[in-house]
Structure 1
Amino acid sequence: MRRLRITLLGLAAILAGLVTAPPAHAAPLFKAPFPCGQTWTYSHHSAEVRLALDFVRSDGGATAGTPVLASAAGTAYRYYEAGGAGNYIAIDHGGGWKTYYFHLASYAVANGSYVSQGQTIGATGSTGNSTGAHIHYEQLYNGSGQTIVINGTSLAPYPGSYNQKYLASDNGCGGGTAKYWVDTFANAPGYASATSTAQTGTLYAGTNYVFCKVWGREIRDASGNFNHWWLRTDLDVGPANQYVSAYYLSRWGNDEARDNNGTTIPNC
């Protein structure tokens, strides 16, 4: 019996030596959670756990209502926490990596939907326990907060207040000059921006090219068809680089913006 006990203990030791911790999964190449070309300042305070950063816009544009972009591709989940994060989205990037985006004014994707890097997932707001519009942003690995890394560069050491450090975004920069061909089923009114209500011209029905898309005001018909995406294009009547609603696309569905080949039109 004594010999058997020693043998079992020895076997356990051997097995323990063979068991090693699973290898760490490399992080995605995370990009800034706000649109291409914009510059935001960021800060950290002790009440924010998991090494979070708060971002506010510093380039003269409004923080409130600015699109919040996915830092990397993954599956997006929508949540609400009245006394804390407010409207927020968690994106599961796989391999144990997640990003969180708190205090959204609104959501731009369905719960459980796959999102690409640079895709608009919501609008910057101040819902929940928040004193002003900002993006509360986190990167987590296996549930533990990580120091924020953007484009492979750590943002540490964190500043304790805004306007000490700044971050310029290259997220969603693709599609500025490339053309994507789409069919429109009716003449589409053109506007100077995705939120404007003053028509600047018309894009005729037929096959047209567009450059990119942005999230804006809703266009909806009496049958319940709708779209929030707006496509930058050159109008047939009116100035260049205007916006028409993706509602007028002949194919696809609500809140979709794809070309005739099914390719998702990139963010502007």
Structure 2
Amino acid sequence: MSFRRLLSVLLTSVLGAMGLVALTAAPAQAAPNFKAPYPCGQQWTYSHHSAEVRLALDFIRSDGGATSGAPVLASASGTAYRYYEAGGAGNYVVVDHGGGWKTYYFHLNAFSISHGQGVAQGQQIGTTGSTGASSGAHLHYEQLYNGVGQTIQINGTYLSPYPSSYYQKYLTSDNGCSGSGKYWVDTFADAPGYASPTSTTQTGTLYKGTNYVYCKVWGREIRDGAGNYNHWWLRTDLDVGPANQYVSAYYLSRWGNDQARDNSGNIIRDC
């Protein structure tokens, strides 16, 4: 160590001991590549309560699916432990990822793992609920390093600044996706897009041709005068309009009534 560097370290230590500077230590062990704690293709919105001291985020679904009972997935591989706290976290899981990193998942409706079980990234560890001190179904999620709450990052990107209420920021998951998490489909006409499978207010358009979709949801029926119909809705990014919208599987070129398959015949996963 150079004399200048040694002097700087000693000066910082002395000033820190005197309370004149704030000493902060970045995590020595890089964080795992954390992914969203819910299934591929699903969109959730999140918020932060200022009283939370561990930089937690609360998540609820915002894509038309139900929050209660939705699968909760491990953000990264590790060893999962299950606990219960009546007056606080309710049913909760802690996944120890090694190197000082842990993730916490509170208020679960049910567990999907045994205590001390090894889990892979994307493996279901429970279902979303409202157990413990909770006023409604949601997923309380934390990332800790050596017991200290960290600003949550997903796929290497921090979700800060945190919003103070829902429906300001959204996160679409790629956790557990196969390959790119997309299915390629052909559509025979321009398809109107909607914010949910039950909405009747068009938000944009998906152009005719080969497009990708993420997943499917059962919703309102689309039917034509020739007796063709479909109740499935496909989540996708519109050519004109917002991302993460829905178009009817009625517009798929290759398949019939109430079918939702990609160009290879694979059944598109549920959102």
Q: TM class, shorter-chain normalised?
A: 0.5 to 0.7
Distance 1:43 1:141, change over 3 A: same
1:171-182 equivalence runs, <5 A: 171-174=175-178
1:69-80 equivalence runs, <5 A: 69-80=73-84
Q: Letter of the aligned partner of 2:171 in structure 1?
A: L
State the Cα distance separating 1:23 from its structure 2 match.
7.6
Unaligned runs of 5+ in 1: 1-12, 14-20, 178-192, 194-233, 244-266
State the Cα distance separating 1:96 from its structure 2 match.
0.1
| SS at structure 1 position matched to 2:95 | strand
Aligned twin of 1:56: 60
Q: Distance in 2 between matches of 1:154 and 1:35?
A: 19
1:222-241 residue CA offsets vs partner (Å, 9 max, x unmatched) = xxxxxxxxxxxx9xxxx974
Q: Distance in 2 between matches of 1:140 and 1:44?
A: 16
Q: Distance in 1 between matches of 2:27 and 2:53?
A: 25
The percentage of counterpart residues that share the same residue type is 73
Aligned twin of 2:92: 88
Aligned twin of 2:5: none
Distance 1:240 1:166, change over 3 A: closer
Aligned twin of 1:28: 32
Q: Distance in 1 between matches of 2:266 and 2:106?
A: 36
Q: Distance in 2 between matches of 1:55 and 1:102?
A: 11
- Counterpart selection for 2:105 from 97, 101, 106: 101
- Counterpart selection for 2:69 from 65, 68, 88: 65
1:196-237 residue CA offsets vs partner (Å, 9 max, x unmatched) = xxxxxxxxxxxxxxxxxxxxxxxxxxxxxxxxxxxxxx9xxx
| SS at structure 1 position matched to 2:103 | strand
**1:45 aligned onto 2:46:** no
Q: Letter of the aligned partner of 2:114 in structure 1?
A: A
Q: Distance in 1 between matches of 2:156 and 2:89?
A: 27
Q: Distance in 2 between matches of 1:50 and 1:23?
A: 15
1:65-214 equivalence runs, <5 A: 65-174=69-178
Q: Distance in 2 between matches of 1:74 and 1:40?
A: 24
Mean Cα displacement is larger for which, 87-96 or 40-49? 40-49
Q: Distance in 2 between matches of 1:46 and 1:139?
A: 16
| SS at structure 2 position matched to 1:26 | coil
Aligned twin of 2:199: none
State the Cα distance separating 1:174 from its structure 2 match.
1.8
TM-score (norm 1): 0.58
Q: Distance in 1 between matches of 2:54 and 2:71?
A: 23
Q: Distance in 1 between matches of 2:162 and 2:27?
A: 28
Q: Distance in 2 between matches of 1:41 and 1:132?
A: 15
State the Cα distance separating 1:48 from its structure 2 match.
2.1
1:57-80 residue CA offsets vs partner (Å, 9 max, x unmatched) = 000100000000000000000000
- Over the aligned positions, Cα root-mean-square deviation in angstroms equals 2.8
Q: Distance in 1 between matches of 2:59 and 2:27?
A: 32
Unaligned runs of 5+ in 2: 1-9, 11-24, 183-215, 217-260
State the Cα distance separating 1:46 from its structure 2 match.
1.9
| SS at structure 2 position matched to 1:157 | coil
